[in-house]
A and B are shown apart, each in its own frame.
Chain A
Amino acid sequence: DVKVTQSSRYLVKRTGEKVFLECVQDMDHENMFWYRQDPGLGLRLIYFSYDVKMKEKGDIPEGYSVSREKKERFSLILESASTNQTSMYLCASSLGTSVTDTQYFGPGTRLTVL
C-alpha cells in the first residue's frame, strides 16, 4: 500500500516568513509533485520532480521553490510567505517516469498566512 505523508496537517505562518512543507513517500516512486488546492480552481501544479535533484516548474511556480535531495523526500519552500499563498497543499507521487502513471496523494497541509 502506497504511503505518502506530509509533515503537517495545519500550519499558521506570518507574512514574510520562510515556510517548509515536507513530503515523504515510502514506495520508491520516481515522480513527486506539489499541488495547491483552492475552491473552484481544482488542483494546480506548482512543481514536480522526476528524479533526485531534478525539478520542473508546473503551472504556478512563482513564489515557490522545491528541493529533492533524496528520492523519498520532496520539499516545497515558500521563501517569503504571502497571504495569497494561504491554501491547501497536496503532495503526490507516482511510480515511473511517465505522467500517465497513477498519482497517490498525501493528506494535505492547510497553510494559513496571516
Chain B
Amino acid sequence: GENVEQHPSTLSVQEGDSAVIKCTYSDSASNYFPWYKQELGKRPQLIIDIRSNVGEKKDQRIAVTLNKTAKHFSLHITETQPEDSAVYFCAASYNDMRFGAGTRLTVKP
C-alpha cells in the first residue's frame, strides 16, 4: 500500500518568510495529492490539492509542486502570517488515501 512521509515535523519561521513542507510517497500509481491545514482544536480543512497531470498549482500565497518521477510533492507558503500557524498534513491517494504525519508550522510575529 501507499506510504507517505512528511518533513519536517516542526517548522518555525519569521513572519514574512517562506515555508516549505515536503512529502514523499511510495505508490507510483497515486494520482491525487491534497494538503490539509488543522488549526488548534479544529478540524482539518483542505487548502490546496493537485492531480498527477499537473506539475504545479498556485492559490494566492500557497503553491504545491509535484514531481512524479521522484515521487515527491511540496507545499510552499510565501509571505507567512501568524494565522498560518497550524499543523499541515499532506496526503496521497490512488486506491485509498494515506496521510503524512503532519508538520507543525509556527509563524513568529
Q: Which of A63-71, A77-85, A102-110 contacts B (4 or more CB under 8 A)?
A: A102-110
Per a CB cutoff under 8 Å, which of A35, A90, A100 touches B93?
A: A100
A42 touches B100 (CB 8 A): yes
Q: Which of B14-22, B43-51, B60-68 contacts A (4 or more CB under 8 A)?
A: B43-51
A105 touches B44 (CB 8 A): yes
A102 touches B97 (CB 8 A): no
B49 touches A45 (CB 8 A): no
Closest beta carbon of chain A to B89's beta carbon, Å:
6
Indicate the size class of the contact surface on chain B. 20 to 34
Indicate the size class of the contact surface on chain A. 20 to 34
Per a CB cutoff under 8 Å, which of B32, B44, B101 touches A40?
A: B101
A23-76 interface (Cβ within 8 A of B) = 35, 40-45, 48, 58-59
B96 touches A99 (CB 8 A): yes
Closest beta carbon of chain A to B51's beta carbon, Å:
7
